[in-house]
Amino acid sequence: MPDCWLVAGCLAQTVWNDAFGVPATHGISDIDLVYFDGEDLSAETEAGHATRVRALFADLGLWIDVKNEARVHLWYAEKFGTALERYVSTEDAITTFPTTSTAVGVQPRAGELHVFAPYGLSDLLGMIVRPNKKQITQAVYEAKVKKWQARWPGLRIVAW
């Protein structure tokens, strides 16, 4: 998949699990892989990638969510009720993720991991959950916070 990144919650939650001394998979409900293919916006291609990736990593026992960020604008309004500007890259999409601590991606490059964290890593490493108001609504943020506080009670939450 072109410009593919491992992103968001599974990264933050892995850091939180390590910091709070709980098992590595504690509280992780899915793994998010995003890519950017502006040449193929078909749902069928995206679904094909998802099926292939899920088969490759079936032993993980976690849902793997695969999304082409180039096509999110096609379905976002129907699912979330507001229109979305078309993303220009995977990095552009990551800048809109719901919290500063989950707006993070990693990608292998030249034998190393490249990290993209548009708001830095201090909130993530400091166990701080802060809203990224670029796209998320207060209701969605507060639902995430409630769920995360139950799983990681030591998180420091910044109010909306």
Distance in angstroms (rounded) separating the CA atoms of residues 51 and 160: 37
pLDDT at 19: 97
Residue 108 and residue 92 in contact, taking contact as beta carbons nearer than 8 Å: no
- Please count the structural domains in the chain: 1
pTM given for the model: 0.93
Q: Which domain holds residue 46?
A: 5-157
pLDDT at 87: 97
pLDDT at 156: 98
Q: What is the CA radius of gyration of the chain?
A: 16
pLDDT at 81: 83
pLDDT at 4: 97
What is the full per-residue pLDDT of the chain (160 aa) written as tens digits?
A: 999 999 999 999 999 999 999 999 999 999 999 999 999 999 999 999 999 999 999 999 899 999 999 999 999 888 888 889 999 999 999 999 999 999 999 999 999 999 999 999 999 999 999 999 999 899 999 999 999 999 999 999 999 9
Q: What is the DSSP letter of 131?
A: B
How many CA atoms lie within 13 Å of 143's alpha carbon, on the beta-carbon side? 6
